[in-house]
Amino acid sequence: MIIKLIGPGRVGRPLAQALEAAGHQVKVLGRAETGAGGHHELGDTDLAFLSVPDQAVADLAKEVESYPRLGLVHCSGQLPNRNIGPRIAMFHPLMSFGGAESGAIFNGCPVGISGPDQLTAALFSLAEQLGARPFAIDDEAKSSYHLAAMFASVFPYILLLQAKELAEQSGIASSDASKIFGPIFRRAVRHLEESDPKQGLTGPVSRGDASTVRQHLDTLAGDPERAALYRSLTRLSLRYAQLDRGARESLEQALQP
């Protein structure tokens, strides 16, 4: 397949590598080249990826004068296809990219796909060729999907940073605090992948341990922002806890400000 990829950024570079490794002919165009009209020459390709920042996708799609045989593809998990143009689909790697990744990152990577049937079918096949794990997304539900990705990636990272800082306050060296939570975090992910969410819940809420919850809040008494976060997350934990009425009420009482 002949593919052009516009925007060799954090996602574009490893994607181009993965596509080439899968045997496709790939030409990468920088944003400056497309501004000079390079992106108008897309009619001689099978597929074109618009791997540019979200805010630039719609404008770039409008500038395309000759579409590739299959169509255009963007890599944004947030943008609805209907807001961009005709014959366009989403190919969203559900992965965080720091800028140093190689094409190997797509091996086993979940990829959300939405768009016209023919284009979607081609992208499912392409994802499988990369060793990725494609799944379908409703174009009208992308906001919830993208929010889910935030909860799965960005927020856990922030919580791990909070864990690191709290560990340092307990006297653990910063270098150790950066590393010691990896195993327990990965174990939590395995619980999610391998068991029912309610069975995977651990910690004081799962045990109905209101006394420990109170101790935690006492520790956070001088840190109202973290205390509020703790209360919010603990209340959410109660949704998944298998507790009798008395234990649930004790926890709810412990969470009162």
Residue 127 and residue 182 share a domain:
no
Residue 221, SS3? Answer: coil
The predicted pLDDT at position 68 comes to 92
d(CA 153, CA 226): 19
Task: Quote the domain boundaries for residue 198.
Answer: 151-254
Token pair of 144 as six digits = 């919830």
Per the structure, the count of domains in the chain is 2
Q: What is the CATH number of the domain that holds 162?
A: 1.10.1040
Lowest mean pLDDT among 22-26, 96-100, 240-244, 249-253: 96-100
Residue 60 contacts residue 52 (beta carbons within 8 Å): yes
Residue 206 and residue 162 share a domain:
yes
Residue 27 and residue 128 share a domain:
yes
Q: What is the CATH number of the domain that holds 111?
A: 3.40.50.720
d(CA 189, CA 199): 13
Neighbours of 60 (CB within 10 A): 22
d(CA 84, CA 116): 13
- Does the residue 145 lie in any domain? no
Report how far apart, in Å, the C-alpha atoms of 138 and of each of 77, 124, 141 are: 11, 15, 5
Residue 200 and residue 177 share a domain:
yes
The pLDDT tens digits for 98-121 are: 888 999 999 999 999 999 999 999
Lowest mean pLDDT among 34-48, 204-218, 229-243: 34-48
**Secondary structure element (H or E) that encloses residue 147, with its range:** helix 142-152
- Does the residue 81 lie in any domain? yes
The pLDDT tens digits for 4-14 are: 999 888 999 99
Those residues whose C-beta lies under 8 Å from the C-beta of residue 205, and which sit 6 or more positions away, are 213, 234, 237, 238, 241, 251
- Does the residue 96 lie in any domain? yes
